[in-house]
């Protein structure tokens, strides 16, 4: 009950903040809002009679269902968002499960989507909380790679803030950055959903502004195409020079929404166009912008991912941008990006569009390593148990690590990837026989290493490669834990705590908004995104205190 009250208090406070920032309830607002007073939900419908004819047309042409009040003066868009279920991984015994294997994840959609829910005063769907995406939304102070591996590997360890019996261990990868002035030419296809469900201001109009921002940073070496889909696909622009911004912008701003959603046909057309203007040695990519509400042709997650797996063999990657509220199909969008050798971001504002498509353009659009997998072998001499925080949807079978046919995640230029383990340390543990060849557990009479806490192994392929390369990083037991909590670890821990509270995680331990704010006070809040997160945490703390007073 206490955690439910905490979530309710946070939601109430975020509504007030959202109203102050966006002016919700103003006469030009096209959406209904939902607020919370005590234990009672109150819906405030915005008068929009000028929308009724368009709304009826949208519904008739296959847009999302709209519900009218008796006097037909108000309308409501019911929440039909979809998320894949997330089941948290518990602690594993090292003797029985010495290996932890997963695919890296640079998606950031979960954090910006949750932020949108909080600022809109909506309850947070626990399955929308993917803690690894929340952590990886932010940048960290990791050194760039110094050798021929396209990313550096960094580790930190300290006492776990929410569990006095465990240690928190961080693995951080930092991809090499590129000089965008010397970047490879881009062949981009903007694949834009213009169906009826994309009508509202936070969808197609925001898509247009986002892609216009990106287009402003292109040059004569780039090629831009635009494909739209609703009831049918349409080529709006084909192979235009990136230097012709006026024509690209005009093509974008002339788009209108209406009709059903035949997304698969649009995907096929976009890949065909990307192949037609393929640039050898360049960055060839489809960038999909949609709410994911596909309802004509191939539309299930399984059908769409099978299509994408076939299309990715062309050498064209897929990035996915999610938009809008109420009917976001997060499950499909995440799956499309995962299977399309790309990344998934959720765009809820112009600020977020600028972050993803301008400030982090290298990471969003340029792959430096693909099919990146991590496998950690823990030494039972020092580690009794472990829990990987997040990455539930990225878990791999141990044997998949060395199988180059198994797909995994991609790292873009300048991207950082962070993973957290919660460790139960022990002075000594008995050894067990295992069928797999292990470094630390005796299988052939050899003595296990007595000075290493674990070994972190990574496999990756070059962007155009087909065979993976293995790199290994033994972590010494002595000196692994610092005398004070490192900055990167403290900030990542704060974000993980926030996610666990939103999920009502059974592993949250002593997590609290007060503890989160204390952790953040130790860290370098070096950019506006960290500062925004700190404001969310402080707002949650102030509201929690007010609730109990």
Q: Is 524 exposed, middle or buried (0-12, 13-18, 19+ CB in 10 A)?
A: exposed
Give the pLDDT mean for 321-348: 92
In CATH, what number does 182-365 get? 3.40.50.410
Total H helices, total E strands in the chain: 14, 20
DSSP label of 443: S
- Return the structure tokens found at 205: 């109009």
87: helix, strand or coil: coil
For domain 92-106+122-178+368-489, give the CATH number. 2.60.40.1230
- Does the pLDDT of residue 19 top 50, yes or no? no
Q: Specify the pLDDT at position 123.
A: 84
Question: What is the pLDDT at residue 45?
Answer: 30
Q: What is the pLDDT of residues 430-445, one digit of tens each?
A: 444 345 678 887 655 5
What value does the mean pLDDT of the chain take?
83
Structure-token pair, residue 485: 């909590």
What value does the mean pLDDT take over residues 467-473?
A: 97
Spans of all domains in the chain: 92-106+122-178+368-489, 182-365
Give the residue from 107, 162, 116, 154 showing the smallest Cα distance to 135. 107
pLDDT at 25 over 90: no
- Average pLDDT for residues 89-115, to the nearest whole number? 95
Higher pLDDT, 373 or 62: 373
Average pLDDT rounded to a whole number, residues 258-269? 77
Entry pTM: 0.84
Segment 121-173, tens digit of pLDDT? 788 899 999 999 999 999 999 999 988 999 999 999 999 999 999 999 999 99
> What is the average per-residue pLDDT within 263-273?
86
pLDDT value, residue 187: 97
More confident site: 38 or 535: 535
Q: Is the dihedral of CA 117, 119, 120, 123 positive or negative?
A: positive
Report DSSP state, residue 124: P
DSSP per-residue string spanning 263-301: HHHHHHHHHHHHHHT--TTSEEEEEEEE-----SSS-SH
pLDDT category of residue 294 using cuts at 50, 70 and 90? low
Average pLDDT over residues 19-38: 34
Does the structure show a pLDDT above 70 at 76?
no
Contact 362, 338 (CB under 8 A): no
Please tell me if the domain spanning 92-106+122-178+368-489 has the same topology as the one spanning 182-365: no
Measured in whole angstroms, the distance separating CA 53 from the mean position of its chain's CA atoms is: 36
What is the C-alpha to C-alpha distance for residues 379 and 368, in angstroms, rounded to an integer? 31
If pLDDT is split at 50, 70 and 90, which confidence band does 47 have?
very low
């Amino acid at each position: 009950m206490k955690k439910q009250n905490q979530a309710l208090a946070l939601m109430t406070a975020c509504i007030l903040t959202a109203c102050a920032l966006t002016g919700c309830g103003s006469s030009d607002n096209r959406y209904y809002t939902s607020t919370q007073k005590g234990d009672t939900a109150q819906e405030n419908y915005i008068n929009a009679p000028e929308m009724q004819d368009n709304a009826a047309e949208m519904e008739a042409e296959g847009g999302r269902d709209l519900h009218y009040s008796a006097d037909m003066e108000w309308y409501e868009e019911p929440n039909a968002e979809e998320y894949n279920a997330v089941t948290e991984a518990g602690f594993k015994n090292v003797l029985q499960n010495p290996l932890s294997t997963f695919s890296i994840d640079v998606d950031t959609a979960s954090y910006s989507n949750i932020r949108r829910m909080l600022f809109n005063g909506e309850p947070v769907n626990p399955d929308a909380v993917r803690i690894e995406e929340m952590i990886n939304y932010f940048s960290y102070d990791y050194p760039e790679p110094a050798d021929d591996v396209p990313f550096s590997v960094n580790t930190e360890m300290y006492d776990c803030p929410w569990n006095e019996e465990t240690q928190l261990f961080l693995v951080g990868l930092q991809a090499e950055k590129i000089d965008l002035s010397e970047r490879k030419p881009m062949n981009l296809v903007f694949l834009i959903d213009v169906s009826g469900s994309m009508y509202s201001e936070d969808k197609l109009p925001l898509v247009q502004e986002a892609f216009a921002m990106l287009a402003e940073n292109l040059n004569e070496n780039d090629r831009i195409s635009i494909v739209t889909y609703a009831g049918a696909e349409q080529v709006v622009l084909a192979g235009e020079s990136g230097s012709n911004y006026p024509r690209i912008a005009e093509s974008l701003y002339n788009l209108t929404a209406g009709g059903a959603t035949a997304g698969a046909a649009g995907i096929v057309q976009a890949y065909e166009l990307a192949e037609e203007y393929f640039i050898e040695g360049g960055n060839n990519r489809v960038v999909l912008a949609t709410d994911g509400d596909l309802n004509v042709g191939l539309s299930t997650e399984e059908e769409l991912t099978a299509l994408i797996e076939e299309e990715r063999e062309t050498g064209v990657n897929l990035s996915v941008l999610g938009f809008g509220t109420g009917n976001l199909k997060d499950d499909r969008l995440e799956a499309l990006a995962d299977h399309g050798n790309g990344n998934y971001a959720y765009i809820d504002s112009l600020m977020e569009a600028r972050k993803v498509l301008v400030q982090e353009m290298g990471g969003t659009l340029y792959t430096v390593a693909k099919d990146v997998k991590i496998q950690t072998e823990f030494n039972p001499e020092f580690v009794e148990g472990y829990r990987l925080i997040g990455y539930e949807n990225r878990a791999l079978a141990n044997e998949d690590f060395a199988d180059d046919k198994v797909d995994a995640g991609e790292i873009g230029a300048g991207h950082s990837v962070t993973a957290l383990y919660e460790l139960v340390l022990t002075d000594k543990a008995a050894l067990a026989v295992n069928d797999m060849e292990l470094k630390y557990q005796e299988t052939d009479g050899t003595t296990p290493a007595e000075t290493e806490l674990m070994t972190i192994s990574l496999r990756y392929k070059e962007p155009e490669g087909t065979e993976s390369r293995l790199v290994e990083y033994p972590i010494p037991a002595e000196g692994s834990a610092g005398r004070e909590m490192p900055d990167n670890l403290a900030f990542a821990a704060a974000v993980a705590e926030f996610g666990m509270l939103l999920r009502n995680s059974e592993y949250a331990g002593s997590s609290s908004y007060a503890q989160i704010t204390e952790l953040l006070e130790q860290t370098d809040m070096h950019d506006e995104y960290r500062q925004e997160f700190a404001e969310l945490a402080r707002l949650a703390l102030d509201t929690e205190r007010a609730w109990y007073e």
